Amino acid sequence: MHEGKYTQAEVNAWNRVVVKVFSEVMERFTQANHRYANKIMMAQQQTIVELSSPIISLKDHTALLPLIGNIDTARGMSLLESTLQQCAEKRVTRLFIDLSGVHAIDEVSAYQLSQLIESLHLIGIDTTLSGLHPDIAMKAVKLQLPFDKVTVKSTLAQAINTIK
């Protein structure tokens, strides 16, 4: 349409400007998309953390913490912080921790579980463990974890039957 009106040097200069602008637009879009994806991922991780250690109120300041799945070091640390905070918020005085859905726990997490029980004791919460699998019990004994401040029942039903 405008053949011969513009020199090749002018066309090349415009081309460089267009390519530069598109590159900047793409870079900014990619950065914004990355920030948005990270924000969504952080929200999802927070939801997962909250769901991985739900404190369920039963009655008279009694609550249940049912644990399901494997407990690794990261989950164990999150469990410690989340459980203490939720128990304080809900004014729990007695907590049942049911481990019948936990089939594997690493040594650090077993230690963290004992630290959770000790911490609960220090803030005045009586703790009852139920549903310990044999391998978890063996790890606790092997690590010489102090479970003297906790009541242990073989099933959740036995533990809940102790509610007065």
The 10s digit of each residue's pLDDT in 88-98 is 999 999 999 99
- Please, which pLDDT band fits residue 26 given cuts at 50, 70 and 90? very high
Q: Which residue has the higher pLDDT, 70 or 91?
A: 91
Six token digits for residue 139: 């790890």
What would the mean pLDDT of 112-119 be, rounded to a whole number? Answer: 89
**pLDDT above 90 (res 127):** yes
pLDDT confidence bin for 54, thresholds 50/70/90: confident
- Read off the pLDDT band of 49 (50, 70, 90): low
Predicted model pTM: 0.70
Taken as a whole, the chain contains a residue count of 164
How far are the Cα atoms of 71, 80, 149 from residue 99, in angstroms, in the given order? 10, 15, 17
Amino acid occupying residue 92: V
CA 48/CA 18 separation, integer angstroms: 44
DSSP secondary structure string for all residues of the chain: --TTTS-HHHHHHHHHHHHHHHHHHHHHHHHHHHHHHHHHHHHHHHHHHHHHSPPEE-STTEEEEEEES-B-HHHHHHHHHHHHHHHHHHT-SEEEEEEEE---B-HHHHHHHHHHHHHHHHTT-EEEEE---HHHHHHHHHTT---TTEEEESSHHHHHTT--
pLDDT at 164: 67
Average pLDDT, the chain: 87
Give pLDDT, residue 80: 86
Inform me whether the pLDDT recorded for 52 exceeds 80: no
- Higher per-residue confidence, 74 vs 164: 74
Phi, psi (5° rounding) for residue 71?
-115, 110
Residue 62 — very low, low, confident or very high, per pLDDT cuts 50/70/90?
very high
Closest residue by Cα to residue 113 from 70, 155, 156, 154: 70
